[in-house]
Structure 1
Amino acid sequence: MQLVEFLTECLDDDERTARATEWDGSGNRLSWELAASATIDVGEDEFYAGDRTIANHVVAHDPARVLREIDAKRRTLERHTPHSSGTADCSVHCERAHPGVQVCNHDGRRWPCPDALDLTAGYADRPGYRETWRP
């Protein structure tokens, strides 16, 4: 599996998980709030997290935020797609092009570029992740 395919699948999985929180009891709300000490308000329902620190973490990473982050990662990945070095529109950051080497469409660096590797780093625990992608 290639990096773009791997990352796209991870982002799709994250999006499905975030959108699955839109159920009747949530009032179809994706934005969660801390209702009380360790109680998370998710719309028409509430969850007790047992600990305020955990509840704060859950609220800080509510589905609405996760979906915004997924959109930002997809836009970044779209800018940082690979292509053959023979057609690279290189800027001052362009590495020396070698025949058959893929470079980043955004900055002309050898693919996978540091930005693509950074996007993938959060998924190092997922099946299919390659150690060669570690930044």
Structure 2
Amino acid sequence: MVDQRMPEVAVWLRSTIEGDKAAAEAIGAGVWTVAKAGRAELDELAILDDGRPIIDSGWEGGGVYDADVAHHIALHDPRDTIARCEAELAELDRHQPNFAGDCTRCDQVAPCEAVVIKARGYRHRPGWKDWEPHTGQERKP
């Protein structure tokens, strides 16, 4: 059950972060690395999970051709995503509204700026609204 004092932005943000964490946990917590793809005649890169290919070349392609893209994918492996989500959830826990509706961490009217700023990092996700700090209302253009 959701605390009725919890601002909409905080509820949405927690749900979004928990969803990312659950998706990463479902994949596993292996270490992703970049390696040359299986078909040597192609300039493809593979993504490996503890040495096991998870993105590799095939007859129809399937590898990654851009080294920057491959390294970006590997940097955001499930292990990293889980750790980042746990840290973000811990920080969100520190910014709960108290009995008067103020943030227990920064003594601002909830939602405090810290929660709204963190939510902006997920602004390309479904359900995003450009919330105002302290009121929780959606910004008007």
Normalising by the smaller structure, the TM-score range is 0.7 to 0.9
Query: What one-letter code is carried by the residue in structure 2 that aligns with 1:16?
Result: A
Structure 1 runs of 4+ aligned residues shifted over 4 Å read: none
Cα deviations across residues 68-98 of structure 1 (Å, max 9, x unaligned)?
A: 000000000000111243xxxxxxxxxxxxx
Alignment check: 8 A CA contact 2:116 2:131 kept: no
The structure 1 residue matched to 2:20, chosen from 14, 33, 38, is: 14
* 2:126 is equivalent to residue 127 of structure 1: yes
- How far, CA to CA, are the matches of 2:110 and 2:89 in structure 1? 17
CA shift in 2, pair 1:31/1:6, >3 Å: same
TM-score, scaled to structure 2? 0.69
Higher relative contact order (CA 8 A, sep 6+): 2
The structure 1 residue matched to 2:46, chosen from 23, 39, 63, is: 39
The structure 2 residue matched to 1:59, chosen from 71, 74, 77, is: 74
Give RMSD over aligned pairs: 2.3
- How far, CA to CA, are the matches of 1:50 and 1:19 in structure 2? 27
- How far, CA to CA, are the matches of 2:34 and 2:64 in structure 1? 10
Aligned-pair identity in percent equals 23
Q: Relative to total residues, which structure has the larger helix share, 1 or 2?
A: 1
CA shift in 2, pair 1:133/1:69, >3 Å: farther
Which secondary structure state, in structure 2, belongs to the residue aligned with residue 45 of structure 1? strand
- How far, CA to CA, are the matches of 1:69 and 1:49 in structure 2? 25
The CA deviation at 1:4 is 2.1
- How far, CA to CA, are the matches of 1:46 and 1:71 in structure 2? 24
Which secondary structure state, in structure 1, belongs to the residue aligned with residue 34 of structure 2? strand
Q: Which runs of 5+ in 2 are unaligned?
A: 1-6, 37-43, 56-62, 134-138
* 2:85 is equivalent to residue 70 of structure 1: yes
- How far, CA to CA, are the matches of 2:126 and 2:54 in structure 1? 33
Q: Which runs of 5+ in 1 are unaligned?
A: 23-28, 86-101
- How far, CA to CA, are the matches of 1:62 and 1:78 in structure 2? 24
TM-score, scaled to structure 1? 0.72
Number of residues of Structure 1 aligned to a counterpart in Structure 2: 113
